[in-house]
Amino acid sequence: MRHSQLTDDLQERASLYAAGALPESERMEYARHIDEDQCVVCRNEVDELQAVMAFVASDVPPASPSPSVKIRLLEQARGASPVRPRPSFLRQRWLELITSAAAVAALVVLGAAVRANNELQHLADVLASRISQLEVEVSQQRTYIATVTAPDVRIVNLAGLGTNVGARGRIFWDQANRRWVFTVRNLQPLPANLVYQLWYVPKGGKPVSAAVFTTNADGSYDTDLQLREGLADLGTAAVTPEPGPSGLDQPTGQFALLGAAE
């Protein structure tokens, strides 16, 4: 039978198996359970515990006694009393059980430490990702503020048309640095095969695509744009629905937003 989650009993049994402390019949049955039942929960716990045991064993450096220590040990052995009889089977069995219990306890503690370390590492990764995201957001907000407060900023208001009569858009145009901060509110959602496209329309020239976007669930959208060099003076700005996902070279849809540069 496969297990769906690791319980205290399963963890103890896996620890006994990894430590070689199970009776032979139980050991064989547990091995069969892992191999034939293909229990991923028990297999993962045993693998983790055996890996911890291997790590602990490899972390202890081997040592050899010095020649002087060997001589002292031999002298003590010659003068020692006769060898005492071996402990009874029952006493020996108790010693084995105590040793096994200590090994199991050590394995459980080490396993818990490994899992706690993995959880802490996961939390650290999540926090690092969130910090990176916040740094991007802060950088974006700084760009917005710099553009909106630029000395020569121009504002282009876009009014909603057609089914988007309740929508509004606004462009904050930093002319010296050729940047736009573009905000939209209350645009109607589009079908999955369409996107909104923002157009820069020079005076007496053809429209130039400035951005392709989809709104948030509430019809809002905010972004900052770096305009390319060589654009003539802005006559109007417009937003139209176009085929997705990348829009078109020239507008084909009905105006959703339209505004003239003052």
pLDDT value of position 215: 95
- Extract the tokens encoding 259: 């505004």
Encode burial over 212-246: b for 16+ CB neighbours within 10 A, e otherwise. ebebeeeeebeebbebeeeeeebebbbbbbbebee
Least reliable range by pLDDT among 30-44, 88-102, 121-135, 155-169: 88-102
- pLDDT grade for 133, boundaries at 50, 70 and 90: confident
Selected residue with higher pLDDT from 238 and 55:
238
Q: State how far Cα 154 lies from the chain centre.
A: 41
Q: Which fold has domain 153-260?
A: Immunoglobulin-like (2.60.40)
Q: How long is the chain?
A: 262
The average confidence (pLDDT) of the chain is 79
**Which of 212, 202, 196, 189 minimizes the C-alpha distance to 237?**
202
164 DSSP 8-state letter: G
List where CATH 2.60.40 sits in the chain: 153-260
Selected residue with higher pLDDT from 184 and 13:
184
- pLDDT grade for 165, boundaries at 50, 70 and 90: very high
**Which of 4, 113, 119 minimizes the C-alpha distance to 51?**
113
Percent of the chain with pLDDT over 90: 30
Cis peptide before 245, with omega less than 30 degrees from 0?
Answer: yes
**Which of 196, 258, 197, 204 minimizes the C-alpha distance to 231?**
204
- Extract the tokens encoding 221: 């959208």
Rounded to whole angstroms, how far apart are CA atoms 21 and 98? 10
Mean pLDDT of 148-153: 72
